[in-house]
């Protein structure tokens, strides 16, 4: 396939799938920066805007656990997403690898939190509405991660300037 044909396909396909991948990654990063990185600076503020749970809801150990995840997200997850987004726009292989890593974490953390939510339901004092919203939102985030990894794998050669050997 010639470069012009490939670029034409890329422009057609950069399309909705690429846009969905990037738009959700940007939104997730914005929420992570506000909720996770923000909690490392002022945990009380992130609780007040609904991005973290209070000590009354999850206990002191739950807050420590949330801050541990926040630190990991700030140091590794958010940068992987940012590098992945930049690399995909530049059509670089490291962009695919970085985004794939971020998407793998995007499958992992909602799964852990959803399981912990139900395994520890007798230990936490969460508002019942949170059980409903978390039960809907967390699987959707994990599905986005799975779909994103599938999308990157399926379109890896189209997304790059140089093709990857399979």
> What is the residue-averaged pLDDT of the chain?
88
Q: How far is CA 34 from CA 6, 10, 76, in A?
A: 38, 33, 16
> Residue 111 above 70 pLDDT?
yes
Look at residue 58 in the predicted model and tell me its pLDDT.
87
State the CB neighbour count (10 A cutoff) for residue 148.
24
Domains of the chain, by residue range, sit at 3-159
Q: What is the CA radius of gyration of the chain?
A: 18
Instruction: Read off the pTM.
Output: 0.84
State the CB neighbour count (10 A cutoff) for residue 105.
16
Region 71-78 average pLDDT: 97
Give the sign of the dihedral formed by CA 101, CA 106, CA 109, CA 114: negative
């Amino acid at each position: 396939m010639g470069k012009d044909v490939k670029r034409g396909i890329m422009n057609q396909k950069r399309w909705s799938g690429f846009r969905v991948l990037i738009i959700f990654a940007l939104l997730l990063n914005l929420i992570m920066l506000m909720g996770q990185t923000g909690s490392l600076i002022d945990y009380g503020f992130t609780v007040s805007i609904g991005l973290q749970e209070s000590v009354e809801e999850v206990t002191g150990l739950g807050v420590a656990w949330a801050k541990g995840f926040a630190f990991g997200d700030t140091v590794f997850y958010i940068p992987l997403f940012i590098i992945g987004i930049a690399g995909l726009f530049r059509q670089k292989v490291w962009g695919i690898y970085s985004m794939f890593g971020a998407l793998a974490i995007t499958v992992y953390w909602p799964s852990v939190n959803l399981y912990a939510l139900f395994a520890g339901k007798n230990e936490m004092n969460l508002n019942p509405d949170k059980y409903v919203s978390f039960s809907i939102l967390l699987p959707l985030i994990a599905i986005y991660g799975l779909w994103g990894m599938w999308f990157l794998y399926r379109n890896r050669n189209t997304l790059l300037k140089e093709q990857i050997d399979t």
